[in-house]
Amino acid sequence: MELEEKLHTRKKPIMVLGTSSGAGKSLTVTAICRILKNLGEEPIPFKGQNMSNNSWVDWNGGEMAYSQALQAFACGIVPSSEMNPILLKPQGNSISEVIHLGKSTGITTAKNYYKDWFSPGWEVIKKSLNSIYERHPNCRLIIEGAGSPVEMNLIHRDLTNLKVAKYLKANCILVTDIERGGVFAQIIGTLQLMKPEEKKLIKGIIINRFRGDLSLFEEGKKWIESKTLIPVLGIIPWLNDKFPPEDSLDLLERKSNLINPEIKVGIIKLPTISNFSDFDPLENEESILIEWINESQSLNQLDFLILPGSKQTIKDQMFLKDSGLSKDIKEYSKTCGSIFGICGGLQMLGTILEDPLFKEGSKTNLDLTIKGIGLLPLKTTFLKNKITRQITSKSIWPCLAEINGFEIHNGVTELDKSQRTLKIKPIFKDIDLGWYRENDNGGSIAGTYIHGIFENDNWRNQYLNLVRKSKNLPIVDKKTRSYKIKRESIIDNLANEFDKHLNISSLLN
Query: Pick the catalytic residue: 75, 100, 409, 451?
Result: 451
Q: Which of 75, 172, 343, 409 is catalytic?
A: 343
Q: Dihedral (C-alpha) 486, 487, 488, 493: value to the nearest 10 degrees? A: 90
Contact 408, 57 (CB under 8 A): yes
Burial class from Cβ neighbours inside 10 Å (0-12, 13-18, 19+) for residue 57 reads buried
C-alpha–C-alpha distance, residues 181 and 455, integer Å:
36
Residues constituting the chain:
509
Contact indicator for 315, 274 with CB cutoff of 8 Å: no
Contacts of 249 (CB under 8 A, 6+ apart): none
Q: What is the rounded end-to-end Cα distance, in angstroms, of the chain?
A: 24
CA triple 382-62-395, angle to 5 deg: 70
The strand pairing partners of 436, in sequence order, are: 425, 446
Spatial contact of 205 and 227, defined as CB atoms under 8 Å apart? no
Q: Parallel, antiparallel, or unpaired: how do β-strands 425-426 and 434-438 relate?
A: antiparallel
The tally of CA atoms less than 13 A away on the side-chain side of residue 223 is 10
Its sign, for the CA torsion 312, 318, 321, 325, is negative
Nearest alpha carbon to residue 99 among 135, 162, 57, 144: 57
136 classed as catalytic = no
Which H or E element spans position 233?
strand 232-237
Q: Which residue type is seen at 169?
A: K
Alpha-carbon distance 214 to 235, whole Å? 7
- Distance between CA atoms of residues 28 and 209, nearest Å: 11
What is the rounded distance in angstroms from the CA atom of residue 209 to the CA atom of residue 161?
A: 22
Cα(232)–Cα(217) distance, integer angstroms: 11
Compute the distance between CA of residue 409 and CA of residue 39 in angstroms, rounded to an integer: 39
Contact 138, 11 (CB under 8 A): yes
Answer whether 319's CB lies under 8 Å from 350's CB. no
Q: So which residues are the catalytic ones? A: 343, 451
